[in-house]
Amino acid sequence: MNQGMTANIDCSVPAKLGKSVQNANCVVMVPPKEFGFNAETAADNEFQHQVSLDANAVKTQAMSEFRSMVAGLRRAGVQVVEFDYPIDVQETPDAVFPNNWFSTTLDGTFYTFPMACSNRQREVRPHALIESLKEAGRQVHATDSLVEYVDQGAFLESTGVMVKDHINKTIYAALSQRCEREALEDYAKRIGYHRVVSFQTALPSGHPIYHTNVMMAIGEHFAVICSEVIPEYERRFVVKSLANTKQVIDISLEQVNQFCGNILQLETVNGDKVIAMSQSAYNAFSPAQRQQLSTHGKLLPFDVSTIENIGGGSVRCMLGEVFLPTRVNSL
């Protein structure tokens, strides 16, 4: 492992070799030790809010929320790789959202992505994370990077902007300054996904959704989407595409503001399905919607209200899925 890098790896239960195509049974989480309001990302993230709390109090609260979430996922049977990093001169206030800078595939490839904001570009630490993943018993056979798109002023923030239907090899993406079409289509070709469904969105302000995963989530047999933010001429096509193979749960813009779209179906190491979400999202789903979701896995709500309110991202943003193959003799 690189000097100064540490990883808290949960090895209490062995990961199964045969995981779901759609759902990861292992996630990367990064402690929010530099967490705070990020003025750079606030330019297009309308879900961020400044608060009057002291900076140290914010970090303490965020860390408490993070620790509770890590513990809850591990209790549920999801393997968590806690990826720590050395504090540098320049802070990375959004490091708690690692899903935006990397992704992994079942064939053992580790990808890195072009981030739109300079202080988020500093989060990209592939070599150290790969070492941590190897210590966690995961195999990395190859690496690939789209970071060179930064030089062209083009960005693609991984599973923040891409919501993947792995079963049908389809990527759904709301276009924005953080999701450039050329980079999106390039990545789809690299991973062998034959279909990209990209679309426009608009909030009441007129600005697009900054990350697709705020208004959309795809599980094995369900999809959550806020169709009202998609222009009418594209809306029907997107919803129909999802409905071909998924139970579609449509959420309102008010529910998006409570992060109902920012949820993630995972698989435990024993093969059970769980759906991670924030307590805010859980409370905002209607009883009927909660019942629908519960047929697809046990609901795991976590109170991450400080991280949500200040960071403008929620539970799904905090989870970097690990689809890498498992070493047979790793644990």
Residue 112 near residue 102 (C-beta atoms within 8 A): yes
**Residue 97: both structure tokens together:** 């959202």
Closest to 144 measured CA to CA, from 191, 79, 196: 191
Q: Alpha helices of the chain — where are they, by DSSP H?
A: 55-76, 118-121, 126-135, 158-161, 181-191, 232-243, 253-256, 279-284, 287-294, 305-311
Task: Give the Cα separation of 17 and 37 in Å (integer).
Answer: 40
By C-alpha distance, which of 39, 29, 141 is closest to 85? 29
pLDDT of the chain, 331 residues: tens digit per residue: 333 333 443 333 333 334 469 999 999 999 998 876 655 565 555 554 666 678 788 889 999 999 999 999 999 999 999 998 877 767 888 899 999 999 999 999 999 999 998 878 888 999 999 999 999 999 999 999 999 999 999 999 999 999 999 999 999 999 999 999 999 999 999 999 999 999 999 999 999 998 999 999 999 999 999 999 999 999 999 999 999 999 999 999 999 999 999 999 999 989 999 999 999 999 999 999 999 999 999 999 999 999 998 888 899 999 999 999 998 754 4
Residue 193 in 3-state DSSP?
coil
Instruction: Tell me which DSSP letter residue 77 carries.
Output: T
Q: Cα(273)–Cα(23) distance, rounded to whole angstroms?
A: 8
Spatial distance between the Cα atoms of 91 and 44, rounded to a whole number of angstroms: 20
Name the maximum alpha-carbon separation found in the chain.
53
Using a 10 angstrom Cβ sphere, with 0-12 exposed, 13-18 middle and 19 or more buried, the burial of residue 272 is: middle
Give residue 6's pLDDT: 37
pTM of the model: 0.90
* Terminal alpha carbon distance of the chain: 18
Fold category of 7-321 in CATH: L-arginine/glycine Amidinotransferase; Chain A (3.75.10)
